[in-house]
Amino acid sequence: MKYYVGFDIGGTTIKHGVVDESGQIIVKSSIETPQERDLFITTLADLVKTYQLKYAIEAVGVCTPGIVQKDGYLLTAGAIKCMYGVNLKTELEKQINLSVTVENDANAAAIAEHWLGAAVGIDNYLCLVIGTGFGGGIVINGQIYRGAHGMAGEFGWSITQDIDLTKDLEEKSLNVTSAVVGGLCYQYSQSKIQVDPTFKPIKDARIIFEAAHNGETLAKIVLNKFYYSLATGILNLTANFDPEVILIGGGISANQEFNENLQAAVKDLETRHRSIHAVMDQAIAPVKSTKLLNDSGLIGAVYQIFHNKN
């Protein structure tokens, strides 16, 4: 059996583990994402070296947010500002003497679902990764679509609300309305700070769900707005790409309450849109959770090792 180290890098945490050639995760864990470049790279290298003490590691697969070019150069890296303009493949290979493959996180999650998940046998679909930011993987005819510069799938940049020309336009983007940390948690924290300047911003959406369960009006309002903002983005993507299915990934995709409420919001908007409603039973893609859930990035990062050899 061959073993590989996979990294699923997020703006808040890095999931890491050992994955075998069949896509089975042997061991996994997570750490807080370092925010300094040298520490970031050294941390990944040290984790690989630790795994090598127990496993004969063949290669390393990494998935990360941002615009990832074919040679492993990170044009951007989502919320991880210290990694902008870094060739992660080259820098990490210097420290571990193993081959490293680097892929966009949403692309990795999307292709993992085609390998072992909810998109087996499906050739045209979208995979949305909703976490610190809002990323997407586009699969057309069974292949990841990257665009001219590797930027395809940056759905979080999309503006779906009325703009305010006195502010940064991204304040009205899906990253700030429909991501989990950068959207839901941000909106809730800002609303709390408005009446309580001592409130410390949160990054854990479970706090908001718990507050809503306990009857807090603000939590209920922010969650409802979050669902409808996300559903609006999904309807736009449905109309633009005509996928067979839209898969929702990221940690929140394992939350049953989230899935039920998002489904309800999507169906409500579909019913209220005259043209979409006319064909919703014949031509509108269903919205489903990724089968691999929070493991899709880790598995997809390793799958890219095999894919890039072909």
Question: 3-state SS of 93-157?
Answer: HHHHCCCEEEEEHHHHHHHHHHHHCCCCCCCCEEEEEECCCEEEEEEECCEECCCCCCCCCCHHH
Q: Starting at the edge strand that comes first in sequence, how are the strands of the sheet with 125-130 ordered?
A: 143-144, 134-140, 125-130, 245-249, 287-289
SS3 7: strand
SS3 297: helix
| DSSP for residue 85 | T
Domains, the chain, ranges and CATH? 3-110+294-309 (3.30.420.40), 121-290 (3.30.420.40)
| DSSP for residue 173 | B
pLDDT of res. 128: 95
Residues 246 and 109: beta-carbon distance below 8 Å: no
Does an H or E element contain 64, and which? strand 57-64
Encode pLDDT of 244-291 as tens digits: 999 999 889 989 999 999 999 999 999 999 999 999 888 899 999 999
What is the rounded CA–CA span in Å between residue 294 and residue 15? Answer: 9
Q: What does each C-alpha distance from 272 to 36, 235, 245, 269, 280 come to in angstroms?
A: 47, 11, 21, 5, 11
Encode pLDDT of 34-80 as tens digits: 999 999 999 999 999 999 999 999 999 999 999 999 899 999 998 89
Encode pLDDT of 124-150 as tens digits: 999 998 988 898 999 999 999 999 888
What is the rounded CA–CA span in Å between residue 207 and residue 198? Answer: 17
